[in-house]
Structure 1
Amino acid sequence: MAPKQQRGEATVDLLLDTALRVYAESGRQGFTVNAVTAASGVSFGSLYHHFGSFDGLAAALYIRCMDRLCDPVVAAVTRSRTARTGIRALVRAYLDFTRDHRDVALFLHASVQSRYLAAHAQEVMAAKEAKFAPIAAWLHPRVVAGELAPLPAHFIEILVMGPVAETAQRWLSTAYEVDLDEAARVLPDRIWRSLRPD
């Protein structure tokens, strides 16, 4: 790799790392282009050169955080042999990741409805679909084999991810008291029951 390209990649990494830190320390209100450039020491021009806009930086950070979440979740599911163990592994992996990587989880959950992702919605959706494709591929033959209720894929996603995401979001919020360890004990089987064939 050429030195110029290495410097460019290092600047991108620095900006993304700094943006996550700024968000974790200052929240949505403090997540600004001025705060990120000041904390990173990177110029406005360089940020815009690499990301096109501050919204582009935020979208890239969202995709990077989603990758970090998806990798252990996909690994947990795809190494499972049965539908039951796979669903339970997904729930636990998601909750474990939330606990172990609070800053990443906070940015993901708080950014879902944010204005800065709107301009990059198609890019974000394509990245999300690509990352979750191995789970869909793992689930499909189990639905066909009758291990899971014969539901459309989006209903399966809602039944699994809805309770898990809501639990994570409540744990991340200071407004609720949620015991993530208790959720990791209770939810995997409860969610699995909602997906068992009748």
Structure 2
Amino acid sequence: MGRKQQRGEATVEQVLDAALCVYAARGEQGLTVSAVTEASGVSPGSLYHHFGSLEGLLDALTMRWLGRLLDALATALEPARTARAGVRALVRAYFAFVREHPEAARLVHSARADHHGMGHAGEIRDFQQVRISSIAGWVGARQASGELAPLPGPLIESLVLGPVVGAARRWIAVGDIDLDEALRTLPERIWRSVAP
């Protein structure tokens, strides 16, 4: 990698880090070009060069953290020897991510991220393909061995992650869910929905 490319990647990282800080402090409405350039020390021209627009920056920031969440889930699945243990590992990893990165979790679970995801689902899947394929491979292997119900992958994903995402959203937005209680309760209930 050349020096210019390294500087460009460092600038992108710097802007993304600053953008999350601005988002955490001011919310989506406060995420402006001037706020991000002030926080990052990067010129508006550089921001536009790397991201095209403020919308492009927000998309890149969301994809960055969605990728990190998917990495955490894939990593949690690797050592799970059984499908049941995998469900527990996924729930634990998801809630750990939400607790460790509450502002990033707020962004990933935002209405704006949902809206973007609905309009660009294919692009997002393509962009996250490596991460998604390792999780799909794990699920496929457990289905082949008879440990998971023979349901389509998207339905398994909905049954496993739907309740977890719902609980995480509620914790982020309202705060009336105890994630420790959810961690004790959800894995077994989710397991029953996907067991063979």
Question: Is the pair's TM-score, using the shorter chain for normalization, greater than 0.5?
Answer: yes
Q: Secondary structure at the match of 1:150?
A: coil
Q: 1:129: how far off? A: 3.4
CA pair 67-187 structure 1, distance change in 2 beyond 3 A:
same
Structure-2 residue corresponding to 1:137: 137
Quote the Cα distance in structure 1 between the aligned partners of 2:121 and 2:39.
Answer: 27
> What's the offset of the Cα at 1:40?
1.6
Classify the secondary structure of the residue corresponding to 1:177.
coil
Structure 1 counterpart of 2:99:
99
**Which residues of structure 1 form unaligned runs of 5+?**
none
Structure 2 distance, partners of 1:39, 1:58, is 15
Question: How far apart, CA to CA, are the structure 2 residues paired with 1:31 and 1:120?
Answer: 22
Tell me if 1:72 matches 2:69. no
CA distance in 2, matches of 1:35, 1:118: 28
Partner of 2:180: 181
Q: Which amino acid aligns with 1:27?
A: G
Question: Does residue 190 of structure 2 align to residue 191 of structure 1?
Answer: yes
Q: Which moved more, 1:32-41 or 1:17-26?
A: 32-41
Alpha-carbon distance, 1:44 to partner: 1.4
Matches within 5 A, 1:1-198: 1-110=1-110, 111-114=112-115, 122-173=122-173, 175-197=174-196
Range with greater deviation from structure 2 (135-144 or 27-36): 27-36
Distance across 2 between alignment mates of 1:104 and 1:162: 19
What's the CA shift for 1:149?
A: 1.1
* 2:45 partner amino acid: G
Matched letter for residue 156 of structure 2 = I
TM-score (norm 1): 0.90
Separation in 1, partners of 2:56, 2:118: 10
Q: Taking structure 1 as reference, are residues 119 and 19 closer, same or farther at Cα in structure 2, changes over 3 Å only?
A: farther
Give the count of matched residue pairs.
Answer: 195
Return the structure number with greater relative CO, CA threshold 8 A, min gap 6.
Answer: 1
% same residue: 53
> Residue 128 of structure 2: SS of its match in structure 1?
helix
* Structure 1 residue 147 displacement after superposition: 0.9
Please say which of residues 155-164 and 63-72 is displaced more in the overlay. 63-72
Contact 1:78 1:134 in 2 (8 A): no
Question: What per-residue deviation string (whole Å, max 9, x for no partner) do you get for residues 141-184 of structure 1?
Answer: 211222111111111010011101111111111x3411011111
Letter in 2 for 1:196: A
- Per the TM alignment, residue 118 of structure 1 is displaced from its structure 2 partner at its CA by 7.5
Q: TM-score, normalised by structure 2?
A: 0.91
Distance 1:119 1:36 in 2: 26
